[in-house]
Amino acid sequence: MEAEKPSDFIREIVETDLRAGTHGGAVVTRFPPEPNGYLHIGHAKSICLNFGIAREYGGRCHLRFDDSNPTTEDMEFVRSIQEDVRWLGFDWGEHLHFASDYFEALYDYALALIEQGLAYVDSSSEAEIRERRGTVTEPGTPGPFRDRSIAENRELFTDMRAGKYPDGAHVLRARIDLASPNMKMRDPLLYRIRHAHHYRTLDRWCIYPLYDFTHCLSDSIERITHSICTLEFENNRELYDWILEHVGVPEPRPHQYEFARLNLNYTVMSKRRFIELVETGKVRGWDDPRMPTLAGVRRRGYTPEALRAFAARIGVSKHNSVVELGLLEFTAREDLDPRSPRAMAVLRPLELVIDGWPAGKVDTLDAPYWPDAARPGSRPVPMSGRLYIERDDFALEPPRGWHRLAPGARVRLRHSEVIECTGVETDAAGEPLRVRAKLVEPTARVKGTLHWVSAEHAVDAEVRLYERLFSAEQPGSDGRDVLDDLNPDSLVVVTAKCEPSLAAARPGERFQFERQGYFYVDPVDSRPGAPIFNRTVTLRDTWAKLVQREQAPAAEAEREAREVIHVESELPPGARALRDAHGLDAGSARVLAGSPALEALFRGALAAGAEPRAAASWLVSELPASGVAPEAARFDGPALAALIALVERGAITRTVGKEVLIELARSGGAPEAIVGARGAHALDEGALAALVDEIIAANAPLVARYRAGNPNLLGALVGQVMKRSAGRADAKRAGELLRARLG
């Protein structure tokens, strides 16, 4: 089922980096969950991507717990996450990490930013900070604490760590740009005070770093090469790069790449909602088989192979979309069919009496477990003159096309005889109580086959019929509360009549109940001799589909069309043409083809000599930071090509190039002229060496602490070089010169 080797824009980036030797041939990814809940199906996509890439390219993938919020994290979640990752078929080896392991290093990095004047302690309230941040159309305004001295900020921050202030008294913020079009860059918070017990560090800390500060630096400490996250963090990438650059992490740094998260219809993927469902008793815990948690789908009977195949089938894209839950169910059926032996169980029994059957007679049938006659394995199935059939398999007044049992109708009993219905006994309301039938010649031609169980030998078993947890395709849409869309029939418990062999079913075994679906023996509640069966997924019901078509053919046709689109996951023709003609990754091709203005800029840059992947990267990844819509951008393709050429020949750094692109988008002009007006050409070797010596002389305290054994402060010194040079210095070369001079 699983593709031999997937192809997507992330893997194309990895292959490009490997060819270029960007990270010395290393591929190091990470899966960084917060231990504040159980993982869900969406995480499975990320796990398969990160661990899969590491496996395919001979690298490694770290499991790192982003545990910087002591109020929500727990060791229970750590254990469950480890179990889920292993269940999916992946292992992190020796590379189990925790962000809390890096708290001391992160604290030193924060001090380094303070020493450079790039971070300050803000004593404003949360409401005041929010009010001064501005809006998407209005810049933020500085607060009264933004210009505190370096010495005062250092003292306040060390006192925060020492526990001298209550929660909320101060925060540490980066000092960046309150007018930035990217709201994430408007002096983001780096640390806050939390007098809370941490499940690992206990009470040693009372200040905790926020996600944006923790994540990029943890990546750097672990030497991650490709930091892969979902699209909601796209705007965070600029801050990710800013922090790494200004604490002095040399190139090649980790780089963040975003892909579309998994969204399923009839499903929510929110830990907050999961907690609400669990705590209000709407479900029976995190591993309730209705939950889209990995623990839930595992208990329901899904296999890791099915989830890996599903992740491969939906692929990796840069565009958010909603995947049909039916595709997951289709993948599960495809996976379970060859691994599930067949058995018979009647879920809603209706008694059937075969007239003329000799009293006490029992036939023992040798029923195969598999429909493939060449596959070995069978079990004995007793048959008597009194049977149970499904209530839904009988109709007093059958509709057109009915091939099941009805007065005068003939059907075959699975593995056994052909019968003809001769009568029915009903209750006062006209509902069938008992069906009577007779045997007819076994060679009679019939169109229907029914499963059945001998009434005298039937084994009672609890069967849990699980359906979708939500009845709405988009739970909570149109202003409704998500809980209002809960499906009241998401769990129906019945006592089924099962063939005798099922009494010996053991926890964790799977069966296909013929004509019913795939079932899994519950590993928690089952007991020896008393299995409980969870329905994983139903079989296709051709009759129900026929009725649905007659009732709403247009809606059914539309749904089938959507399913085909999701199954095939094909690029639109225009995107496919761009990908094939220029060697672009699928995500970039889709973005360019989806915007006539972007595609025109791209083609104009190519005509002016730009390399296709470079042009696509600048347009897709960097232009959004300008806040200017592509159709409103004030530059053309040749200008973009000129900018790319400046960066590639080393005339300017990529950092400066990003700033020039923003100015081009907003104001137009020629890249070379903008660089000249800014005096932003890259420093030559002599000028860079002189600047490094100047920074060393001006930062004696930092230099002393570095030489005393604090290597993290090298980043602060590189950051000073980058700040003093206004981005004109090559950070990697600056780091090399600093190391050489400092010994």
**506 burial level (CB within 10 Å; 0-12, 13-18, 19+):** exposed
Residue 51 Cα to chain centre, angstroms: 13
User: In angstroms, rounded to a whole number, what is the distance separating the alpha carbons of residues 18 and 395?
Assistant: 66
Q: Give the pairing of strands 459-466 and 532-538.
A: parallel
In whole angstroms, what is the distance from residue 27 CA to residue 29 CA?
A: 7
Single-letter amino acid code for the residue at 66: D
Q: Which of 594, 557, 549 is nearest to 572 (CA)?
A: 594
Dihedral sign (CA 433, 438, 441, 444): negative
Task: Given the residues 2, 15, 34, 251, select the one marked as catalytic.
Answer: 34
> 6: cis peptide before it, omega within 30°?
no
Residue type, 347: L
Q: Compute CA distances 479 → 474, 475, 482, 485, whole Å.
A: 11, 10, 9, 11
**In terms of DSSP H, where are the helices of 145-210?**
150-161
Catalytic (active site) residue 261: yes
Cα separation of the two ends of the chain: 55
How far is it, in rounded angstroms, from Cα 110 to Cα 191?
A: 9
- Distance separating alpha carbons of residues 334 and 734, to the nearest angstrom: 56
CB 428 within 8 A of CB 464: no
CA 20 to chain CA centroid, nearest Å: 29
* CA–CA gap between residue 334 and residue 591 (Å, rounded): 33
Pairing, β 510-513 against β 491-498: unpaired
Exactly one of 261, 282, 678, 723 is catalytic; which is it? Answer: 261
Contact 469, 487 (CB under 8 A): yes
**Does residue 34 carry a catalytic annotation?**
yes
d(CA 7, CA 14): 11
Q: What Rg value do the Cα atoms of the chain yield, rounded?
A: 32
Q: Are 723 and 115 in contact (CB under 8 A)?
A: no
Number of H helices, E strands in the chain: 25, 25
Nearest to 392 by CA among 354, 347, 459, 423: 347
d(CA 195, CA 544): 58
β-pairing, 349-354 vs 532-538, is unpaired
Instruction: Identify the bridge partners of residue 640 per DSSP, sorted by sequence position.
Output: none
For residue 481, count other CB atoms closer than 10 A to its CB.
Answer: 9
- Please work out, in degrees rounded to the nearest 5, the angle formed at the alpha carbon of residue 375 by the alpha carbons of 369 and 376: 65
d(CA 34, CA 64): 9
At position 324, the amino acid (one-letter code) is: E
- Decide: 29 and 225 in contact? Cβ < 8 Å: yes
Of the residues 161, 184, 194, 271, only one is catalytic, namely: 271
Helix axes 731-742, 713-724, angle to 10 degrees: 130
- Measured CA to CA, the distance from residue 712 to residue 84 in angstroms comes to 34
- DSSP one-letter string for 708-720: TT-TTHHHHHHHH
Tell me the two tokens of residue 516: 């019913």
Q: How many CB atoms lie within 10 A of CB 83?
A: 15
Give whole-number Cα distances, 445 to 410, 420, 543, in Å: 9, 12, 20
Contacts of 728 (CB under 8 A, 6+ apart): 652, 653, 656, 680, 681, 682, 683
Question: For residue 348, what are its two tokens?
Answer: 């809603």
Q: Check if 271 is active-site.
A: yes
Q: Which residues are catalytic?
A: 34, 261, 271
